[in-house]
Structure 1
Amino acid sequence: MPLDAPLAEPLRRALGERYLQYALSTIMHRALPDARDGLKPVHRRILFAMRELKLTATGGFRKSAKISGDVMGNYHPHGDSAIYDAMARLAQDFNVRYPLVDGQGNFGNIDGDNPAASRYTEARLTAAAEALLDGLAENAVDFRPNYDGTLEEPIVLPAAFPNLLANGSSGIAVGMATNIPPHNLDELISGCQALIKDPDLPDDDLVRLIPGPDFPTGGVIVEPRESILESYRTGRGAFRLRARWEIEELTRGTWQVIVTEIPYQVAKSKLIEKLAEVIQLKKVPLLGDVRDESADDVRIVLEPRSKNVDPEQMMGMLMRVTDLELRFSMNMNVLIDGRTPKVCSLREVLRAFLDHRRLVLQRRSQHRLDKIDHRLEVLEGFIIAYLNLDRVIDIIRYDDAPRDALMREEWGRTFPRAMSEADYVGPPPGEGELSEVQAEAILNMRLRSLRRLEELELRKERDALLKERAALDDLLNSDARQWKRIGEELEAVRKQFGKETALGKRRSDFAVAGEAEILAPEAMIEREPITVVCSKMGWIRAMKGHVALDGEFKFKDGDEGAFALHAETTDKILIYGSNGRFYTLLGANLPGGRGMGEPVRLMVDLPNEAQILDIFLHQPGTRMIVASAEGDGFIIPADELLAQTRAGKQVLNLRDGIKALVCKTITGDHIATVGENRKMLVFALDELPEMGRGKGVRLQKFKDGGLSDLTTLTLTEGLSWKDPAGRTRHEPDLSEWLAKRATAGRMAPRGFPRDNRFA
């Protein structure tokens, strides 16, 4: 191709058109359900293929491999595993509110285990699926050629009930998604009946009939009614769903919580793992143990740490940190007419179903009308044959072309004794000829049927057909009669799947949210004394009781003690790192004191290059002063030092190469600082700003070196320290060192410690 030859099509346009085709294909043929029957193409093809295999709800089972193979070979040219997974989901009563496939074998479970291979399982249709398919043989819907043009498949199923809302749906398309929760069919039928009577029914009344979803796994919906109403009005929203639990009393005043229903689409095994993790990490200290005693039903046992624990409080905490409570997001994005995606309200989805049912009713009625007309025409021929039986037999016996002879024959006007000319349904004999249909019917009639061709039988069948035809005519010509018939059909479905049946009984209840007061974790722990010990290499542990801090503690070889303090299990332990970050640990979560403890860096994200400068108790309401080795610092409330995550909280901002140095509790009205040059400065506390985070301001001016230490004091009481010999020294008059902040200061008093430390 020459370099200067023009391109047949710009790349931008070509990519755009092809991607648009792919997007439309994904939206229409894979991800979004049809509002009329609530099915995606793969599910519709599975049910249709099973119908073609005659796998009725009362018949036998067939291998799932045979079913998925037929679906793949005849209608759905995709992977057999995808087809089998879709079929298996239709059989899972914990995923589908009204299962459409009756499975025999291992079709998965609520634990999240996958179904067995298709060669090991069998399936057939359920009664609900047959209700969706009812009418396919009566021209109820249009058919289209399959992917290779050898067969035909329905574009949509007749759908005797609103399956989209009854079973819900979920899918992700290109640029859009859908997520519809399942509902109770009895309530949906009540909503449909109300819309039939009053198409302008207010949303409040409609939601009163359909109060919310009905999940297969039960649970308790605690979403406010106003929120539910808005979700159904707009087609978007969320439903807050909680597990169902009860208290089981044991001996000696003890008790345990039994979880009997878990939220929809939560794998029980994953939930148990999360609960075990909560116990291990002590996220909910009130919980002592968890056991799974489930068989066919769900039974998760939660044991409290103490019988004095409040059950509501414990479950409130667990619902915050586990999937015992979740929010099910709703996005009713569906193909409203089989082609156009639209986010629909509850009213629009039900309206689409009802309009579809009306069209199905009209088509089925017209189909039946055509059948009746054909049968009446055949009956006319039979009547003529009965009236002229000898002549008919003579023609059939001797004529070479009996059909044409029957059609050419001029038949007499003889009527049977019980049938007058006025009662005759066809053209009067002698004034008309047999049609081709009538002639063929007479020729195909069995000889044994001649004895039944009697006057009364013909008249009885004719009268019944005429009466049915008149009723169908009235039905097709009256909107009111059509909606009345649709209501009767819905009532028949209600009788089969309504609340009076085991399948149709509502499973998810409604309740007020009932937010229990969520206490802080330390408020739910039994208060016990502990001694916190941390080594120089960062191994921390909590020993029971208050052990003497100057006692002997064991450490690993090459390690030694660095920090020891008395605390309680309810205390929050603050760790100050040389990177300027503060980390928070709960006393109850520290490892026991029988061993050497655990590295702090496994509990918090303290970098390897950062050192632990101090470990102390958090004292609410106090103020602290933090400073860097460079001599910058500020005042910060102790409550601002608490960190909520493992990553800690950055408080002191540092330049590269500079490290944090000190953090002290403020107890006086002045601050004393000493630098590496042994010059000391005393200045008023109110000269320092109070901040939540930052670099701070300069505390003392250094010509060389940096800050060594600082302390707070009351100026009138002076300054005390211990000299190298261990004797307490006191300097009552500090006027010689008293100056403004950020000045150089003067040499420390005689006898001041050689390490330049106040304490």
Structure 2
Amino acid sequence: MPTQPTDVALHKTAQERYLNYAMSVITSRALPDVRDGLKPVQRRILYAMYANLRLTHDAKYRKSAAIVGEVMGKYHPHGDQSIYDAMVRMAQDFSLRYPLVDGHGNFGSVDGDSAAAMRYTEARMMPLASELLDEIKKQTVAFRPNYDGTVQEPVVLPAQVPNLLINGATGIAVGMATNIPPHNLGEVVDALIAMIDRPEISIDEMVGAIVKGPDFPTGGVLLNDEEELREIYHNGSGTLITRAQWEIERDGQRRYIVVTSIPYYVNKATLIEKIAEHIIQEKLPQVVDVRDESTNDVRVVMELKRGADADVAMAYLFKHTPLEDRFHVNLTCLVPSENPDVAQPARVDLKMMLRYFLDFRMEVVTRRIRFELEQLLRRIHILEGFETIFGDLDEAIRLIRASEGKADAAQKLMAHFGIDAEQTEAILETKLYRLAKLEIELIRAELAEKRAQAAKLQGLLDDEGKRWKVVRGELVAIRGAYGDVRRTLVDAPVKELEYSEEAYIIAEQCWVMVSREGRIKRQKSYTDLSTIRVREGDQMGWVLPGSTRDTVIFFTNMGRGYTMRIDDVPATSGYGDPVQASFDFDDGERVVGVVTSDKRMLRTMAPDQPSLVGDEESDEGDVQMVAISRSGQSLRFSLESYTDPSTVKGRLFMRLDKGDEVVNVENCDGSELVALASRDGRGLMFQVREISHVKGPAKGVRAIALEGKDAVLDFTLCRERLDGLEVETNRGAREIIRATKAQYAPTSRGNKGKLIIQRGHLIRSHRPPVEIVLGDDDDGDGGEEE
């Protein structure tokens, strides 16, 4: 009978199945166990090598394909490549601080090279891996059926070493992840011993004094101080900052930076490519070449330019390449639960991690002692049977000879001597030569020895303190056998390297060109404006001098200033790139004013000209800008706050009401006249110093009194008598607002101005491109003619 379909709630079914999947990934694939520090696939690889293939450290190498096949067929049905990848990682001395697999052949490199195919490589266990498994035959850990129920596999390995801390782990599960850094075995064992001696010891007492910090297989320098490390080990999370080790070497007149270690998980080949890119792009002028001279040890050599500062070069490399890297710590792992077959995920701190391992070691040692005692008692029981028989050996032989067979002989021996079936079986299987007098004495000596051993083991089981001494002694032995020197430096004197972007820019004189539509570029030279390429319908708006170490500031109609280094402006003879590609402009935002920080083009406020608006402080020597909006608001502000590179959001220089926008921004020296025109045909001229100087973003003061829907069309600053603002009417006529015309004689800020036309209105202004021309004898100290 086919099963009848049943209705189920989709959301409940989806939730239930997703949770099952998530827990399966968390507990069966991605997270390591706090006790043996292994993920399931790693545990199965080591167990198959040890129990099935006998590939201990003193065995012959075996093809990796055979190992993978054994693991996949019996324990891990998730694909051969995932198994091989896990085994390869356990063999890489740059991935694991203490490798567990002894690989023979190409197992990859720190340059990111992949391992050879499994059919070409061979492997066996490392000696340290044996310490994870040696006690497994003594019923020290629980077993469970494999995926198809045909064989048994261990729930966890009886690890004698704190593998989770010394080798670390990385994994991404569903809704959680782990990222545990490796540590020095000697330091971790010392911390375990300290916890045995003083269970109340705190994390603060351990960190720094015993556990110095993570110890990465690739070395490097740890920049975190002791207080930061304590916080990371308390919280089970945080960020470690590691930096490459380097030194200076000399060869005659040449000097080289030699990198001798790199941060953990950094691909050396990719690192060198990135350094080379910065050199090729001339972003690192202190370095002329980089090459890899690494063998078994890391050796990346960078040749310094003559006279270059190595500290400046390294400051740049630490900021822009993985020579300085971050490791995000997440001490999440599987910890024991009430169900011995299933562990549960938890984020732990350093002491909890050590405590779980010590409790596990106590459990393993107790089970091992109990197993050994049971084996001893069983042997003692057999030996006691021999001792009983040997007391009257002639009678035993007579009974055996008189019996009808083995079963009859066993019955007679048990009835006469009072021994059980197990003892009788051992006696009947004894070879005749062992009936000699010398053999009987050996059995009695063995019995005495075994009774003494059993008493000692029973004493250990009765006294937990003695068992802790056993655990402590075994840890001391592990430290003596596998402890080594720390590779990652901590508390090392680290030179503070100052980073200044200007130090990495080659100073070159150039011209910054900005079109009216906001396309930007730079060129080393040009002949005249007509030779500069612009897109059809566009025209050149600003051509300004500057050095690649200077900045260029773009002022927009939205009242914001955006600043970038001239070195970052695209160098091209084409149309250039839109300024929006470098900044986050709003819809409709466009450039209305441009200046560079080159002192040769900037005008400073002239002396001996007191402000007309009662400024409390002198403006003398200040570089100021003038901005006027369509609603007639105006302000002066200092350029100083806008010369450093900005974020993509820019900096606000003028606060605008909704619907208002800035029409123009120009540099002033305080001597100019403002020539202003409105759309309804009014013109006004007044002294620029009548506009208030503000220290931060503001709405400003009224420049012209507007009526109805009138709005400011444009303005410019006039420095000469014939300077003015040229405007065009809707009938095609043109008019220039300049001081030489009587109707535009300078008045005061804030009035209505004079009518330019009797009929119609103004539609546009005609301002020529801003072109700063530098004289041949310019010394770079002052402003230039426009």
TM-score w.r.t. length of structure 2: 0.80
Note the residue ranges of structure 2 that are not aligned, 5 or more in a row: 338-342, 600-621, 727-737, 758-763, 771-785
**Alignment deviations for residues 677-735 of structure 1 (CA, whole Å, 9 cap, x no partner):** 4723325545457486688776444876852431176xxxx8552899xxxx9759999
Aligned to 1:668: 670
**Aligned counterparts, 1:159-178, within 5 A:** 159-178=159-178
**Aligned counterparts, 1:215-254, within 5 A:** 215-252=216-253, 254=254
| Aligned-residue offset at 1:302 | 2.8
Q: Distance in 2 between matches of 1:540 and 1:213?
A: 48
Q: Distance in 2 between matches of 1:246 and 1:141?
A: 50
**Aligned counterparts, 1:338-737, within 5 A:** 339-393=343-397, 395-396=399-400, 399-409=403-413, 432-451=417-436, 454-499=439-484, 505-511=485-491, 514=494, 516=496, 518-525=498-505, 527=507, 529-530=509-510, 540-543=521-524, 563-575=542-554, 583-588=562-567, 596=573, 599-601=576-578, 604-605=581-582, 615-618=594-597, 622-627=623-628, 634-642=635-643, 644=645, 647=648, 649=650, 651=652, 661-668=663-670, 672-675=674-677, 677=681, 679-682=683-686, 685=689, 687-688=691-692, 690=694, 699-700=703-704, 701=706, 706-711=712-717, 719-721=721-723, 731=740, 736-737=745-746
Matched position secondary structure for 1:107:
coil
| Aligned-residue offset at 1:157 | 0.8
Contact 2:512 2:520 in 1 (8 A): no
| Aligned-residue offset at 1:626 | 3.6
| Aligned-residue offset at 1:185 | 0.4
Aligned to 2:89: 89
Contact 2:31 2:173 in 1 (8 A): yes
Percent of matched pairs sharing the same residue = 37
Contact 2:91 2:107 in 1 (8 A): yes
Q: Distance in 2 between matches of 1:280 and 1:261?
A: 24
Contact 2:715 2:725 in 1 (8 A): no
Aligned to 1:214: 215
| Aligned-residue offset at 1:175 | 2.7
How many pairs does the alignment contain? 713
C-alpha distance 446-132 of structure 1, shift in aligned 2 (>3 A) = same
Amino acid at match of 2:252: T
Aligned to 2:19: 20
Contact 1:224 1:512 in 2 (8 A): no
| Aligned-residue offset at 1:292 | 2.9
**Aligned counterparts, 1:149-168, within 5 A:** 149-168=149-168
Q: Distance in 2 between matches of 1:686 and 1:211?
A: 66
User: Which piece of structure 1 moves more, 169-178 or 41-50?
Assistant: 169-178
Q: Distance in 2 between matches of 1:723 and 1:622?
A: 23
Matched position secondary structure for 1:510:
coil
**Aligned counterparts, 1:176-195, within 5 A:** 176-195=176-195
Q: Distance in 2 between matches of 1:699 and 1:6?
A: 81
User: Which piece of structure 1 moves more, 652-661 or 65-74?
Assistant: 652-661
Matched, 1:34 2:33: yes
| Aligned-residue offset at 1:610 | 8.3
**Alignment deviations for residues 630-655 of structure 1 (CA, whole Å, 9 cap, x no partner):** 86654443244457478473757999
Amino acid at match of 1:17: E
Aligned to 1:420: none
Contact 1:56 1:126 in 2 (8 A): yes
Contact 1:664 1:711 in 2 (8 A): yes
Amino acid at match of 1:408: K
Aligned to 1:427: none
User: Which piece of structure 1 moves more, 165-174 or 108-117?
Assistant: 108-117
User: Which piece of structure 1 moves more, 255-264 or 227-236?
Assistant: 227-236
Q: Distance in 2 between matches of 1:262 and 1:671?
A: 62
User: Which piece of structure 1 moves more, 69-78 or 272-281?
Assistant: 272-281
Q: Distance in 1 between matches of 2:5 and 2:657?
A: 60
Q: Distance in 2 between matches of 1:723 and 1:487?
A: 92
**Alignment deviations for residues 109-160 of structure 1 (CA, whole Å, 9 cap, x no partner):** 2122332222222221111111011100011111111122111111111100
C-alpha distance 496-597 of structure 1, shift in aligned 2 (>3 A) = farther
Amino acid at match of 1:335: L
Amino acid at match of 1:233: H
Contact 1:191 1:209 in 2 (8 A): yes
Aligned to 1:100: 100
| Aligned-residue offset at 1:178 | 1.8
Contact 1:654 1:695 in 2 (8 A): yes
C-alpha distance 367-684 of structure 1, shift in aligned 2 (>3 A) = same
Matched position secondary structure for 2:315:
helix
| Aligned-residue offset at 1:99 | 0.8
TM-score w.r.t. length of structure 1: 0.83
Q: Distance in 2 between matches of 1:394 and 1:346?
A: 69
Q: Distance in 1 between matches of 2:6 and 2:695?
A: 66
Aligned to 2:306: 307
Matched position secondary structure for 2:48:
helix
Matched position secondary structure for 1:508:
coil
| Aligned-residue offset at 1:16 | 3.5
Aligned to 2:615: none
Contact 1:556 1:596 in 2 (8 A): no
User: Which piece of structure 1 moves more, 511-520 or 34-43?
Assistant: 511-520
Contact 1:55 1:62 in 2 (8 A): yes
Aligned to 2:731: none
Contact 2:140 2:367 in 1 (8 A): yes
Matched position secondary structure for 2:381:
helix
